[in-house]
Structure 1
Amino acid sequence: MIIAKDIKKMLRALEVESDHIKTGTAADRRYRRADVTWSATIRAERGHACLHEEEREVSGIIRDISANGARIDVDGLFFEKNNLLLQTTQLGAIRCDLVWRRGNKIGLQFSEDPRKIHKKLQELIPGFDTLNP
């Protein structure tokens, strides 16, 4: 029988595992990031990446964004990883995957063509350009 203490241990192990994912430096990034404060929701749809039987959704604030990903502060824990849907007023719906998690901060990598997202970001954020075109 699994008890609460065992569940907490497993969750901590998952979090530690995700924290050890190697992340690149700012110099390694292909696309420029812009600091923003945009409300967003992230949803794992039933039949895709859900750990649960129903759809799971969490709200948060996008803190920085690039043509291929975003860093978000989420309200609560979010463990789903693949085939997620990020929804914002500014960009609409974007398919993405979770690539790292540290507490309530998560990093998403967009599944869509970065050129398409880059074009939208240029319209929304004046001077938004890639570092390496």
Structure 2
Amino acid sequence: MIIAEDIKKMLQALEAENNHKHGGSIQDRIFPRRDGLWQATIRAEEGHASLHEAEREVSGMIKDISANGARIDVDGSFFEKNNLLLTISGQCIFRCDLVWRRGNKIGLQFSEDPKKVIKELEKISPKIESIHN
């Protein structure tokens, strides 16, 4: 059932956001992060319910990235949380969910296999493979 899946994803995102706010640290991360600056666009996937139709896409700069997620400084308001598509430098597209937000900074968690993410990220940075070793 689509509604049950959406609610489950929302609860997982809220739990991850809460964990991040209360004690989540760099030592707790499963996948190491790599600093960088990559142009990014985040948008809600077509066909998913949206509370804010006008706020379905935002641009920004990725500040760091791992096989599991990314931290992005966005250029505007973005209210979507689940069923997002992140496009990086016009070359890589990942499904993801928003897990935290502080002002214009947001954290995304990829919904895809970390090995697939690393392979795709190598298109924008050949040295990115070092984040999973």
- Give 1:22's aligned amino acid: N
C-alpha contact 2:44 2:80 (8 A) present in aligned 1: yes
Q: Provide the rounded CA distance (Å) in 1 between the counterparts of 2:90 and 2:79.
A: 25
C-alpha contact 2:67 2:131 (8 A) present in aligned 1: no
C-alpha contact 2:98 2:109 (8 A) present in aligned 1: yes
Greater helix content: 2
CA distance 1:72–1:50, change in 2 (3 Å): same
Instruction: Tell me the matched-pair count.
Output: 114
Match of 2:19 in 1: 22
What secondary structure does 2:115 align onto? Answer: helix
Aligned residues with identical type, % of pairs: 61
Q: Provide the rounded CA distance (Å) in 1 between the counterparts of 2:103 and 2:54.
A: 23
More displaced 10-residue stretch of structure 1: 43-52 or 27-36: 43-52
CA distance 1:47–1:54, change in 2 (3 Å): farther
Match of 1:86 in 2: 86
- Give 1:52's aligned amino acid: H
Where does 1:1-133 land on structure 2 (aligned, <5 Å)?
21-23=18-20, 24-53=24-53, 56-89=56-89, 91-122=91-122, 124-126=125-127, 128-130=130-132
Q: Provide the rounded CA distance (Å) in 1 between the counterparts of 2:32 and 2:89.
A: 21
- Give 2:26's aligned amino acid: A
Aligned-residue CA RMSD in angstroms?
2.4
C-alpha contact 1:49 1:84 (8 A) present in aligned 2: no
Q: Structure 2: state its 5+ residue gaps.
A: 1-13
Q: After TM superposition, give the deviation of residue 50 of structure 1 in Å.
A: 1.9
CA distance 1:29–1:125, change in 2 (3 Å): farther
Q: Deviations over 1:71-120 (max 9, x none)?
A: 00001111110000001126521100000000000000001111111233
C-alpha contact 2:60 2:72 (8 A) present in aligned 1: yes
- Structure exhibiting the larger radius of gyration computed from Cα positions: 1
Q: Provide the rounded CA distance (Å) in 1 between the counterparts of 2:130 and 2:91.
A: 15
Q: Deviations over 1:34-74 (max 9, x none)?
A: 00100010001343152134671100000000001000000
C-alpha contact 2:66 2:131 (8 A) present in aligned 1: no
Q: Provide the rounded CA distance (Å) in 1 between the counterparts of 2:49 and 2:93.
A: 17
